[in-house]
Amino acid sequence: MKLVISSDHAGFPLKEEVRAYLTRAGHEIVDLGAYKVEPEDDYPDFAERVGLAIKQGVAPRGILICGSGVGVCVAANKIPGIRAGMCHDTYSAHQGVEHDDMNVVVLGARIIGASLAFEVVDAFLRAQFIAKEERFVRRFNKVLAIEAKYQCGDGSKSPA
C-alpha cells in the first residue's frame, strides 16, 4: 500500500523506525518530514502535509507521529475529509478503520515503543471500512454531515 508519513521533532525517531519497517514490508512510503530533529519545528505543519497529501490523492492513508499524538491528531482533523485517530493499541487501529473509515493513524512517540507501533500500524493497514453494515454507514454519513455543516468551500466555518 502507498502511504504518507510525517512527524515533528518529538516523533522523528519513531517515524524513522516505522518508515523503515513499512518499507521492509513492501509498502511504498512517501516521507513528508521531518527529515532531522529540529526542536523548533511545529507539529501542525506536519499534520497539514499528511492531510493535504491524502486529499490530493498522493496516498489513501497516512501516519502521523508527535510526542503524545494529541497535537497532530487535533490538527489533522481540522482538514475536511481527514479522519485521524490516535491509536496506541491494535483494537482501536483496526476498529477506527472498520467503523469510522479512519484514514490517518496517529502515534505518540513518548507513549509507545517501536514494537507496539509496528503492530498498531499493521492493524490499521489490514483493516477495511465495513460499508456493508447499515449502522456504520448511517453513523459515517452523520459524521460527514457534521463536517459539511461547519465547513465552507474556503475552509471557514459556516453559520450554524
In SS3 terms, the chain reads as CEEEEEECCCCHHHHHHHHHHHHHCCCEEEECCCCCCCCCCCHHHHHHHHHHHHHCCCCCEEEEEECCCHHHHHHHCCCCCCCEEECCCHHHHHHHHHHHCCCEEEEECCCCCHHHHHHHHHHHHHCCCCCCCHHHHHHHHHHHHHHHHCCCCCCCCCCC
pLDDT at 152: 67
The reported pLDDT for the residue numbered 157 is: 56
CA dist 56 and 37 (Å) reads: 27
- Rounded to an integer, what distance in angstroms lies between the CA atom of residue 159 and that of residue 145? 14
pLDDT of residue 131: 73
- Distance (Å, rounded) from C-alpha 83 to C-alpha 138? 16
Choose the catalytic residue: 66, 73, 87, 94.
66
Q: Examine the residue annotation and report whether 66 is marked as an active-site residue of this protein.
A: yes
* Nearest alpha carbon to residue 66 among 136, 122, 13: 13
73 noted as active-site residue: no
How far is CA 45 from each of CA 20, 34, 80, rounded to the nearest angstrom? 22, 10, 16
* Active-site pick, 87, 88, 94, 99: 99
pLDDT of residue 31: 98
Residue 74 pLDDT = 98
In this predicted structure, what is the pLDDT of residue 156? 54
**Global confidence as pTM:** 0.92
10-residue block means of pLDDT along the chain (160 residues)?
Answer: 98 98 98 95 97 98 98 97 98 96 98 98 95 85 92 57
pLDDT confidence of residue 133: 81
pLDDT score of 130: 82
Q: What is the model's pLDDT at position 151?
A: 83
